[in-house]
Amino acid sequence: METQVEVKVCFPQFNTSCKKQTRTHFEAMIIYVLMSSISLLTAFLNLLVIISISHFRQLHTPTNLLLLSLAVSDFLVGLIVMPFQILFTEPCWFLGDLMCVLCYIIPFITVCASAVNMVLISVDRYVAVCDPLRYSAKVTPKRVQISVLLCWIYSVFYSCLILFDNLKQPGRYNFCYGQCVINIMGAVDIVLSFIIPMSSIIILYMRVFVVAVSQARSMRSHIAAVKLQRSVTVTVKKSELKAARTLGVVVAVFLMCYCPYYCVSLSGYDLLIGSSSEVFMVFLVYLNSCLNPVIYAFFYSWFRKSVKLIVTLEILWPYSCADIVL
């Protein structure tokens, strides 16, 4: 005697409804708990970075302005992108076709902005280490502010352009009712969002590394000559090299988090949307937003000091913005 297996669909009232791709209860709970925890932690940690750099005048440097822009994109990932990513893991999409496209725009903007910010940080460290005498003349706060503004304008424009067909006719690429599928120019996205930014970052940091090693050898070879002028010069060089090393760790973690997803795309292997492997790859990209402030906590004493002042609410005191945190 044959038994009929009941097929669950997203919208039983529609003949074109999608079938539900069921998950085990344990797998679903792991995804929800893990992503919710990481989302809250990401938003909280990056909010601390934003408050720290914005509040304390001592931290209003060109490099920190770039870190502030990166923290804003990471904060948006924790506050908006990750919660919507939890919805994308659901077997059915109930928010409509237009909301489906809109929910993809913000991730595209933040990912693009993060990549461009990393390029700007690499350029900043390149100039600081390779041309330190003209760094203050070349990298001014005003130029950095303009660069950050152009970074976000480009990210918004690029994201809207690459999703233009989906915005023009939402749901045109759905195979059934209750699905959230978008189509992008994969080759263009990989080149502009991954290959060009990553190549620029790697080339710049390779140059920074070579110059940093040569400067370290030069300082060791002249260690016997202890004069005031040289002492100040060495201090400046050491601070720049330390910043380059710290931001190098940030860039390395960025590459490790982003490379798996884009390398799979470059290999031509198609990831099934909503599958466990696709969820893991996307989660790894978003995890980078949580790791950046953790790196700052390990390497930057100013971040630890400013967090202490924020948590103890000392920033509410009059003239707290002038506190010394460096």
pLDDT digit string, tens, across residues 177-230: 777 777 776 677 778 878 888 888 888 888 887 777 776 666 666 554 544 444
Q: Please, which pLDDT band fits residue 43 given cuts at 50, 70 and 90?
A: very high
Where are the alpha helices (H) located in 170-275, listed in sequence order? 186-190, 196-221, 228-267
Mean pLDDT of the chain: 79
The least confident of 54-58, 110-114, 231-235, 300-304 is 231-235
What structural domains does the chain harbor?
A: 31-322 (1.20.1070.10)
pLDDT level of residue 47 (50, 70, 90 thresholds) = very high
Give the residue with greater pLDDT, 143 vs 182.
143
- Answer yes or no: is pLDDT of 73 > 90: yes
Is pLDDT at 326 greater than 80 in this prediction? no
Enter the tokens of residue 86: 């939890």
Phi, psi of 319 (to 5 degrees): 60, 20
Q: Within 13 Å of residue 107, how many CA atoms lie on the same side as its CB?
A: 19
* Tokens 């953790």, residue located: 294
Give the pLDDT score at 76: 93
- Model confidence at 82, pLDDT cuts 50, 70, 90, reads confident
CB 311 within 8 A of CB 297: no
DSSP 80: I
Mean pLDDT of the region 35-56: 91
Burial level of 2, CB count in 10 A (0-12/13-18/19+)? exposed
Cα(290)–Cα(43) distance, rounded to whole angstroms? 8
The token pair at 300 is 């930057």
C-alpha distances in angstroms, 169 versus 166, 173, 184, 326?
5, 9, 13, 52
d(CA 78, CA 36): 9
Name the residue with higher pLDDT: 140 or 129.
140
How large is the average pLDDT for residues 86-111? Answer: 82
The pLDDT-based confidence of 23 (bands split at 50, 70, 90) is low
pLDDT digits (tens, 9 = 90+) for 243-282: 667 777 887 888 888 888 777 766 655 555 555 666 777 7
How far is the C-alpha of 38 from the C-alpha of 283, rounded, in Å?
10
pLDDT of residue 235: 45
- Res 231: pLDDT: 45
Q: What is the DSSP letter of 91?
A: S
Q: Which residue has the higher pLDDT, 204 or 2?
A: 204
Q: How does 122-133 read in b/e, with b if 16+ C-beta sit within 10 Å?
A: bbbbbbbbbeee
- Going by C-alpha positions, the residue among 114, 51, 58 that lies closest to residue 81 is 114
Token readout for 159 is 């994201």
Tokens (6 digits) for 174:
């759905």
